[in-house]
Structure formats: structure tokens, C-alpha cells
Structure 1
Amino acid sequence: MKAVLPGSLPGSGSDAGKPVVFGDAAEPEPGDGELVVAVEAYSVNRGETFQLDGRLDRRRPGWRPGKDVAGKVVRAAADGSGPPAGIRVVAHPPAYGWAERVAVPTGNVAELPDSVDAVTAAALPLAGITALRLLRVAGPIAGRRVLLTGASGGVGHYVTELAASSGAMVTVVSATAGRGARLLELGAAKLTTSVADAQGPFDIVLESVGGASLPAALARLAPGGLLVWFGQASRTPVTLDFFDFFKGPSRARIEHFDYTVSDTSYGEDLATLVRLVARGRLHPEIDSVRDWSRTDEVITDLRGRRVRGNAVLTVG
């Protein structure tokens, strides 16, 4: 079958500078509790671009990217779990999804109603699951003041709409006002292009940029506030002066977040996201839809921060 394969790492090999190449891959062989999905669409996440350029480990020999897919089940799980062949699904495999077919654990799929198309569904998994679980960590948010940094990506759009619809007063930080404009339409109370301009204090800070952004956001916490650190999009290490922290808001807390830690079965969260979309309560922000032959272009645009929300590729 055809698949998108990792290119050479920057500065090496004949494909140097190409993030991905097209090639042939073996047909997926599903294990226990796995089904096979014929992929109709997939989305690209920034974390996958970091893996492709070597800034995150490629975890195993033969690794191929692909964690967010939508399509149709073409081979049901042998143990009878999960949907049967012919059912449309959204899925979150651990990898290998940028291909014509992919094996997925049955606990990581959710059925799609006719009202949710494959392109919309493909934008849901990683970003949507992250947003749901991030807000659970934040706790009750109705009436609370929330600061969200790095808000113009896929996770940020979902967090903004979900938090605002739950009664939170959300201030979003986006690199430019243009990239952040849609966030105001989704319910954000205020938009700023710099953490330094955010008018706190905030009960909850959701921080995804790293570098100088985290200590600046931490300084804007209210007493007893919570900062949840869920990303480092700037790829710049954080330097935190704990003497400044101790002089800051009393009883403030910092918590690190990883969406995979609490539960590695994603089907229920996927079903929740699908239900919200079908009912018109969640609106995936899809900035770009292209044929999968243009995956390398999308990766380049993501690296250059030229994608607002999600980018989706269609297969076949």
C-alpha cells in the first residue's frame, strides 16, 4: 500500500530537507483487539513535525507518523470488539496513520454519524482529546478567569470554545491578532499578542509556549491559582527563578500535563468530541484541506506557524 514515510533528517541523505516522501509500506497486521481502517483523511500535529526533524525521538525502527485519522473499518477486530467492517470511524492510532490503511486498537475509535464528515473528524483526535483532558485537570471553570497561551493552534481553539461555553472568562494569547481573531468568535473574552499585556490576575493559566512565556504567565496567577504546563511550542527551555515564584501569588501551583498519562484509551473522549460536533457545540478550526500528496507543504507551513487551528489531508 502507499504511505507517507519520514524523509532524511535535516542535513543528511539524498532527501535532506524533505520532511516526508511517498513510498510503499506493508499492509497493517492487526494485533489482538485491533481493527483496520481505510484512511480517508488525516491531520498533522506539530509534535509529529518535531519527530520528523529529529527534535523528538523516533521511538522504534520503521516508525511512520500518523495519529489522527478518519475513514471506514475494512477489517473488524478478530475478538469481536469495536465496530464491524463498513462503519465510518474517527481513530487515534499510536502511529502509522498517514497511509491508505492503518491498524488501530478498538478502544481508540469512535463511530461517526452521517452529519460528521471525514475531514472534520480527522481534526479531532489529538488536539480535541488534549483539550478535554486539560480542562478536566483545570477543574471547575465556570466563572473563573483563564489565561491560555499559544492559543491559535488546534488545541487552543478547542480549549477556548469548550471553556467559554462552560462559563469561563478566557483571555487568549496569539502571536498575531489575525491568527487569534477566530478565538473571539469562539467565545474568548479578550485577545492579546503578548503575555505581558494580559490583564490578570487569573485563576487558571494554561501554558503551551515555554521560554519566557511561562514565568511571565506565572506572575499573572491569582493567589491559590493553578498553572498547567502542557507544551513548549517555542522549543525554548524555561528558566524559572523560584525566588520570584515564592514572592509571587501565595499558594500558587504548577502542574505538568501529558494527555497520555491518565488514560491511554481514547474512544470515550473521541465519542464525546463527535457528539459535540454533531450537535453544533464544537467547531473544529480547519485552516487547510489538501490532497495527501502535499503533506510536505503542510508540514512546512506548520513549522512556519502559517496554519491556524488544524490542517487536514485527504487520501485517495
Structure 2
Amino acid sequence: MRALLVDPTAPGRLRLGEAPEPEPAPHQALVRTTATSLNFGEIKHVLAEAPAGAVLGWDAAGVVERAAADGSGPAAGTPVVTLSGDGAWAELRAVDTDLIGTVPEGADLGAISTVPVAGASALRALRRLGPVLGSRVLVTGATGGTGRYAVQLARRAGAYVVASTGDPRAHGDSLRALGAHEVVTGPEDLTEPVHGVIDLVGGRQLVEGYARLAEHGTLVSVGRAEHEPDVFPPGAFLGAPTGHDRALVSFYLMRCTGLGADLTLLAGLVASGELDARIAWRGPWDRAADAIDLLLGRRLHGKAVLDLS
């Protein structure tokens, strides 16, 4: 099968080549990939360290080629969205059936391919905050793929959404169109405390976001766009006098259960137009190096999608 293979000598460290077809385990379906979306973390860290010849990739959408032998998961011919630790950048991938979501017929599988890491991370973070109807929720790093999904999902859940971005003048209108009530440069610009923070930046913004939590508030640390240290001042975690009952939590998406149902839900919302995938770049997979350059240069605000042709 054709695949994007790690090649340290190639532009973007990837080249199109041939790889062995995967052999699915009994609980896995064989999926023919139509489109894959790229994530900053897999480009910045996983691709940079992967051995030559590896087939990487977390997010993909396509059609079930062969159903799982144990009878679980969707039937052959079903359009699906898939999540796994590798294998998305190839024509075929074997995927655990509990990491597969079904997709409405006729949906744009390129848009659907943006769902797995970005959409599911945003959904799980919002659930970790608990009911947010009428609450103030801050999303840091709101112009990225996960951030844009988080803004939309928080607004759908009834929150008053504050979106944080390094350039509110450039991105304010698009974030408000997604559902943000306010757009700020960072947590330091908040005029009053928030009940929840979905932090996608880390470092100073994580520290400042935690400091601006209201009583009973929770900060969910999801991503690290910046790699500066998280340096909390002395007394940051004292309960008295203003820090009563605040929490800082994190999670690892691949350890979460029930992701197949989440992927199905999110795919349906994207297919119906109720969620905007916000694709910032889209092209054939032989142009992967172009997308990687833009991602690493922080010049994309949204998702990059590769169509397999």
C-alpha cells in the first residue's frame, strides 16, 4: 500500500512510498483512508523523533474495508472516523473498534478527519469541567484546532465563553463567529474570575489561568503550545483566603473510554454544519511538507487536512 514514510532526508521528513498492509487483530477493523488531519504535537514531537520508514498519524476518516473478525464495530462499506497512535498516513489502517466513530453518508470526510484529537480532546475537557450552563469558561490557545472546537462546544453547552489568542485583532471576528462572547490576549486580561479554564498553551497562561479561577473552579490542562515551565508562585495552592476549592486536572485522551461514541457524536455535528471544522489548509498528501512547514511556523489557525488520492 502507499503511505507517507518517515524519511529524515526528505522535505518535512516524509516521502510517499510503499509499506506493508496492516494485519488487523480480531477486535480491529481495516479502514481505507480518505483523508487525514495533522496535529501540531505529532509533527513537532512524534515525527521529529520517529525512525526512518515508520508510518505515523493519529487522525483519519475513510471507509471500512473489512469489518472486525470478532463482530464488533461497523460493517464493511461504512464511512468512519478513526483514532489511533499511528497508521493514519497510509491507504489502509487497522483500528480498534472502540476508537471508531460512524459518519453520516455523504459527509465530507476531509472535514470529519479533523475530529479525533482536536474535537474529542475539547469534548473531554469540557465534560471534565462539569455542567457549564451560565458559567464563565476561558479557552486559551483558542485559534488552534482544539481551541476552536472547545469554543464551539462550550457555547453549545450554555457557557459564557472567553477565548484567548495572541492577536485578538486578527482573530477576534472568527472566534466570535464560533461562539466566543469575549476575545482577550490572555488570562491576565480577564475582568472577573472564571468558573472553568480549558488550557491549550501551558506555561505562564496555565499559571495565570489557574490564578483567575473562581471558587469551585477547575482548570483542565489539555495541550502545551508553549514549552516554557509552569512556575507557580509561593502560596498558589493555598485555600485561604481566596483559593478555596479550586482544581487543576489533566487527562490523556488515549486512556479515555467510550471514545467511539464521542467520535460518532462529533462527526454528526460536523456533517450537519452544527460544528465548524475550521480547515485552515487542505491539499493532497504529496504536499504534506507544505502543511508541516506552516504548522511548525505557527502560520495555521485551524486544522490542516491531507486528501489521499
Smaller-chain TM-score bracket: over 0.9
Check conservation: 1:145, 1:168, Cα contact below 8 A.
yes
2:24 aligned with 1:33: no
Instruction: Evaluate the alpha carbon distance shift between residue 286 and residue 244 of structure 1 in structure 2; reply closer, same or farther with a 3 A threshold.
Output: same
Check conservation: 2:281, 2:304, Cα contact below 8 A.
yes
Partner of 2:190: 198
2:297 counterpart letter in structure 1? G
Task: Give the drift of 1:200.
Answer: 2.4
Moved more, 21-30 or 239-248: 239-248
Instruction: Evaluate the alpha carbon distance shift between residue 238 and residue 78 of structure 1 in structure 2; reply closer, same or farther with a 3 A threshold.
Output: same
Check conservation: 2:4, 2:90, Cα contact below 8 A.
yes
Give 2:116's match in structure 1, choosing from 115, 120, 125: 125
Instruction: Evaluate the alpha carbon distance shift between residue 161 and residue 78 of structure 1 in structure 2; reply closer, same or farther with a 3 A threshold.
Output: same
Check conservation: 1:36, 1:74, Cα contact below 8 A.
yes
Partner of 2:277: 284
**SS of the residue aligned with 2:235?**
helix
**SS of the residue aligned with 1:48?**
helix
1:282 counterpart letter in structure 2? L
Moved more, 274-283 or 100-109: 274-283
Cα distance between partner residues in 2 of 1:61 and 1:296 = 16
Task: Give the drift of 1:257.
Answer: 2.6
Task: Give the drift of 1:47.
Answer: 1.4
Residue correspondences, number: 305
**Any stretches of 5+ residues in structure 2 without a counterpart?**
none
Superposed, 1:236-315 pairs within 5 Å as 236-246=228-238, 248-263=242-257, 265-315=258-308
Q: Give the alignment's TM-score, normalised by structure 1.
A: 0.90
Task: Give the drift of 1:232.
Answer: 1.2
Cα distance between partner residues in 2 of 1:32 and 1:233 = 37
Cα distance between partner residues in 1 of 2:209 and 2:227 = 17
Moved more, 154-163 or 252-261: 252-261
Partner of 1:113: 104
Give me the CA root mean square deviation: 1.9
Check conservation: 2:6, 2:13, Cα contact below 8 A.
yes
Check conservation: 2:6, 2:53, Cα contact below 8 A.
no
Residue identity over aligned pairs, in percent, reads: 38
Cα distance between partner residues in 1 of 2:173 and 2:185 = 11
Q: Give the alignment's TM-score, normalised by structure 2.
A: 0.92
Moved more, 37-46 or 275-284: 275-284
**SS of the residue aligned with 1:69?**
strand
Partner of 1:46: 40
Check conservation: 1:19, 1:299, Cα contact below 8 A.
no
Partner of 2:75: 84
Cα distance between partner residues in 2 of 1:166 and 1:210 = 24
